Amino acid sequence: MILQDLVNTIDIEEDRDALRTVGDLAGFCSGHGLDDLVFDEADVDGARRLREALREVCQAHTGIDVPSATQAALDELLAAAPLRLVIGADGSARPEPAPGPAGLPALTARIATGILTAVADGTWPRLKACNAHECRWVYYDRSPAGRSRWCTMSICGSRAKMRNYRNRSR
């Protein structure tokens, strides 16, 4: 999913950001079939803003409210990314980016169509950001109950449980 891949272009724990330059952003988009998009330096900053806002939304799927500043940023970014509804010959309906937008608005529209598809098929609430502050990796929660809090129990979950154990033992 392009949204998950975008949000995970930064490794917080290792302090590695894969969206540092216009070339990085163009390469990311090319890897997702968006070869025709042209970006400038402002688009790189906007893509990083979009990435972090989407991470906050995925964090909300674990029970933490989306900050109002994040909601405002998403409203602004999504308003510049118009979508249209396409009706198929079989009567099916799907969202797709409206013709015209380029650069960051086109990327945002592509991500918005993915979100709408995930909402429609019920998978959207399972896209979560790890509760470990040093990680915050976005993952798809495949647990039966859909109540996972960490990207991996063996790393982030284990660290959190060990910290809680140590705090209780003091």
pLDDT at residue number 106:
95
Residues 94 and 117: beta-carbon distance below 8 Å: yes
Mean pLDDT of the chain: 92
Query: DSSP string spanning 93-118?
Result: EEEEEPSS--HHHHHHHHHHHHHHHH
Q: What is the CATH number of domain 2-169?
A: 1.10.3300.10
The predicted model gives 128-149 an average pLDDT of 90
pLDDT at residue number 128:
95
Per residue in 109-119, pLDDT (tens digit) is 999 999 999 99
pLDDT at residue number 162:
76
The predicted model gives 36-44 an average pLDDT of 94
pLDDT at residue number 152:
78
Q: What percent of the chain has pLDDT over 90?
A: 75
Per residue in 76-128, pLDDT (tens digit) is 999 999 999 999 999 999 999 999 888 999 999 999 999 999 999 999 999 99
Residue appearing with tokens 């129990």 = 153
Query: DSSP string spanning 73-84?
Result: HHHHHHHTS-EE
The predicted model gives 21-50 an average pLDDT of 96
Per residue in 2-31, pLDDT (tens digit) is 999 999 999 998 999 999 999 999 999 999
Residues 94 and 86: beta-carbon distance below 8 Å: yes
pLDDT greater than 90 at residue 66 = yes
pLDDT greater than 90 at residue 168 = no
pLDDT at residue number 151:
84
Would you give the DSSP letter of residue 124?
A: G
